[in-house]
Amino acid sequence: MKKLYILASLAVAAASLTSCEADKEPVYVAPAEKVFSLSTPAEDDNIVLAPGQVVELTAVAPDYGIPVVTTYSVDLTLADEFIEANEETGTEANYITLTPKQPTKTAIELDDKDVTTAICQLLGINTFNEFEDADVQPQKVTVRANARIPSIASSNCVSNNVVLPSVTPYNPFPQVPGYCYLVGTNSDWATPDNANATTYEKWSIEETGVGTNIYIGSLNVPADEQYFRFYTELTGWDGVCLGTPSGGNELIEFTDEETSLEVAYTQGCFMTDAAWEGGYVTFTIDLTDKENPKVYAKKGEYLKETYVYLIGTPSNWAEPSATNEKALEAWRLVDRGGTGIYKATFDIPESEVYFRIYPGLNGWGATPYAAAAGNANVSMTLGSAIQYVEGEGCWTFNWKGGKLTFVLDTVEGTMTVSVPEE
């Protein structure tokens, strides 16, 4: 009898232990190896980057002992190995960290624009023209992924390196207008090169639009005797410049009437005499016929106008292209004076309105001034300022008909549509 009692007690104890084990909840465990696996599809040996596309990588989530939301990022370098920044030695990191389109997914998607921009930056390329001049070739790219649980430092893990043998970047930078520069006593004869780009910001005359080859700007020319000529680029003293036809110094006078300055490709200087009282002068440089350049000058300040375009149902979805430039003049938002705020009032018929804003007439595609990163539509409340993003998403709202004021504020990064005050 005693033996049976002991056996029964053991059985109860075993059952209790089993029950306790089953009742234990999973707990976080910091990965011992701090590594996880990263791979890329085999067919991606040759990647040609393009707008709107993605580079795909696949991660195997680190084992944290519990199901948990993990955040991923990706480091990209053009070297074979990653080098970390070190303040003591002055070493800089040789990689750029990218955020996936969906940072919590193990199926990692990197926007091609982010990848090509990172490659360009690692190559020392930061502008449209620098890319065009660089003859960029396909690059061998090394990537690795980082995984972490937000707010838990011990969760940080790094994947193996993955080599992408051939990645062809595209030019991700917006094409921007060019500049001409007033070089002379006004700039203390600073060498017209990139090292003095900051100096020449205040002495620059901006192109009216990409590829127009017409430059207009107002410069505050100091009083007294001034000697100057015009440079079309910051490439040093031997760069292309416009001076006097004789190649020597020639006296000019700024007046309230627009005056044509005779110019040639020389280093001869225009000069003012001691009677020049100083002040703003508006210069117009016309290089549409580069063999016969023209320069005009007029006393006074020029109020610059720049435009963006309302594209959508109000403009009958006219493509934002040079072909439709005339038709889209009626749908321009205007920034007067370089404020960064574009504004216009339009008479919109009763309709369900869809629109986004384009900065130029370069065709369809993503715009910096969209409602959503993809092509989703976002409902808009009239009178409310809404943050814009780069993409193709439209703002939409129902309208009873009548006048509406559209304001794109590139300083605050917002889009507002409101009923104008009477």
pLDDT of 44 reads: 66
Residues pairing with 55 in the sheet: 110
DSSP label at 256?
A: S
> What CATH architecture applies to the domain 179-299?
Sandwich (2.60)
Question: How far, in whole angstroms, is CA 246 from its chain's centroid?
Answer: 44
pLDDT of 30 reads: 86
Task: Supply φ then ψ for residue 418, to 5 degrees.
Answer: -145, 165
pLDDT of 304 reads: 76
Structure tokens at 258: 């627009």
On the question of a common fold for 179-299 and 305-418, the answer reads yes
Tell the burial category of 215 from Cβ atoms under 10 Å away from its Cβ (0-12, 13-18, 19+).
buried
- Tens digits of pLDDT across the chain (422 residues): 444 444 444 444 444 444 444 556 788 888 878 899 999 876 667 899 998 899 999 999 998 988 889 999 999 999 999 999 998 898 999 999 999 999 999 999 999 999 999 999 999 998 888 898 889 999 999 999 999 999 898 999 999 999 999 999 999 987 778 899 999 999 999 999 999 999 999 999 999 877 788 999 999 999 999 999 999 999 999 999 999 999 999 999 999 999 999 999 999 999 999 999 999 999 999 999 999 999 999 999 887 788 999 999 999 999 999 899 999 999 999 998 778 999 999 999 999 999 999 999 989 999 999 999 888 999 999 999 999 999 999 999 999 999 999 999 999 999 999 999 86
How far is residue 312's CA from residue 355's CA, in Å, rounded to a whole number? Answer: 4
Widest distance between CA atoms in the chain: 129
Cβ atoms of 184 and 226 closer than 8 Å? yes
CATH code of the domain occupying 35-168: 2.60.40
Boundaries of every domain in the chain: 35-168, 179-299, 305-418
Give me the CATH topology for the region 305-418: Immunoglobulin-like (2.60.40)
Closest CA to 188 of 206, 180, 201, 200: 200
